[in-house]
């Protein structure tokens, strides 16, 4: 049997790679943390001859000297028939600084030993971003800044439950007041659309609920916005696929991330379900 499924987990230190590996282990994957990139090929060859064909490998900046050659190695594995899913976990600098402060763990690239620990940590995070930038470009990026571990666990399991075919399109709703998602390739602002928040009966509901959906579907501006976003994506997704992009994340934002953005994300996911692999997530709903 030569049907190897490989999930490659990369990302910023402190962004949740251990949580992602735990989710994959629960799903029956044979997991290896911090495998040196030089050993990735021999490791897969060994598993081809064994009983493990669902593999998950975490590679991080501790293998810094071997990272430049990793993208080419991944391309070689794909040409050899390995079915690969690349996931890059990210978070804002402020979030990473807070997490390292709370856990009192050192950053793998930090050499700061004097009083200015925060300055040394900030420099280490920036260096890590530079070293991992090419891997980030080739992966599905998940921003864990505002995610609880339980939600990340669910999200990873949902991801591997979908057999990817071609380009994967992810629509994400969010609230501008809580910041733009780091994982967004495109961001659309829909705050100018009629707001169900000002309808007393609709305020406690979300864009997933039928009364809110009916209200927004009846607004010509909402229909026009949805069609224009769809036209933009229909025009450029084929070009992105030609450029060997595997994942595109489209973020739709409104004020609170409850009504308008949620409705449009649901609408766009249905609209692009064929021929693309379309998925959605709602940051402020934790879904």
* pLDDT tier at 113, thresholds 50, 70, 90: very low
Same domain, residue pair 124 and 218? no
- Sole residue written with tokens 């943390």: 33
Per-residue pLDDT reduced to its tens digit, 206-240: 999 999 999 999 999 999 999 999 999 999 998 88
Same domain, residue pair 149 and 9? yes
Looking at residue 123, its pLDDT comes to 87
Longest pairwise C-alpha distance within the chain? 63
Which residues sit opposite 55 in a β-bridge?
6, 30
Same domain, residue pair 155 and 13? yes
Same domain, residue pair 105 and 190? no
Same domain, residue pair 15 and 70? yes
Looking at residue 111, its pLDDT comes to 63
Same domain, residue pair 30 and 125? yes
Q: Which of 105, 130, 160 is the last residue of a domain?
A: 160
Same domain, residue pair 27 and 156? yes
- φ and ψ at residue 126, rounded to 5 degrees: -65, -40
Q: What is the mean pLDDT of the chain?
A: 87
Same domain, residue pair 10 and 45? yes
Residue numbers of the domain that contains 99? 5-160
Same domain, residue pair 172 and 140? no
Looking at residue 116, its pLDDT comes to 56
And the tokens for 47? 């598993």
Dihedral of the CA atoms 74, 79, 85, 88 (nearest 10)?
20
Looking at residue 1, its pLDDT comes to 41
pTM: 0.68
Looking at residue 63, its pLDDT comes to 76
Same domain, residue pair 153 and 12? yes
Nearest CA to 129 out of 89, 180, 75, 156 is that of: 89
Q: Which of 117, 132, 160 is the last residue of a domain?
A: 160
And the tokens for 73? 């190695």
User: Region 43-72: what's the mean pLDDT?
Assistant: 83
Looking at residue 69, its pLDDT comes to 81
Per-residue pLDDT reduced to its tens digit, 6-30: 999 999 999 999 899 988 988 889 9
Same domain, residue pair 96 and 118? yes
* pLDDT tier at 146, thresholds 50, 70, 90: confident
Looking at residue 244, its pLDDT comes to 65
- Alpha-carbon span 107 to 99, nearest angstrom: 11
Same domain, residue pair 156 and 243? no
Total number of domains constituting the chain: 2
Q: Which of 136, 160, 184 is the last residue of a domain?
A: 160
């Amino acid at each position: 049997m030569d049907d190897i499924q490989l999930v490659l987990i990369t990302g910023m230190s402190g962004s949740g790679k251990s949580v992602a590996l735990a989710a994959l282990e629960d799903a029956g994957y044979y997991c290896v943390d911090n495998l040196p990139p030089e050993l990735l090929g021999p490791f897969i060859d060994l598993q081809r001859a064994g009983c493990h064909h669902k593999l998950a490998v975490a590679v991080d900046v501790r293998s810094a000297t071997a990272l430049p050659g990793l993208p080419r190695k991944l391309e070689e594995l794909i040409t050899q028939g390995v079915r690969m899913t690349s996931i890059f976990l990210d978070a804002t600098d402020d979030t990473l600084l807070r997490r390292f402060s709370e856990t009192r763990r050192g950053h793998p690239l930090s050499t700061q030993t004097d009083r200015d620990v925060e300055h040394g940590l900030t420099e280490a995070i920036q260096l890590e971003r530079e070293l991992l930038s090419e891997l980030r470009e080739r992966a599905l990026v998940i921003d864990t800044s505002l995610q609880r571990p339980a939600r990340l666990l669910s999200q990873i399991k949902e991801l591997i439950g979908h057999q990817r075919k071609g380009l994967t399109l992810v629509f994400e709703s969010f609230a501008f007041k809580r910041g733009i998602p780091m994982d967004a390739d495109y961001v659309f602002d829909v705050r100018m659309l009629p707001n169900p928040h000002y309808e007393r009966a609709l305020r406690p509901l979300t864009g997933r609920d039928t009364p809110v959906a009916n209200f927004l579907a009846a607004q010509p501006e909402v229909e026009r916005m949805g069609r224009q976003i769809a036209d933009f994506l229909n025009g450029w997704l084929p070009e992105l696929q030609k450029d060997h992009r595997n994942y595109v994340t489209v973020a739709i934002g409104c004020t609170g991330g409850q009504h308008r953005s949620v409705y449009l994300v649901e609408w766009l996911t249905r609209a692009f379900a064929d021929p693309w692999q379309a998925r959605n997530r709602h940051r402020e709903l934790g879904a």
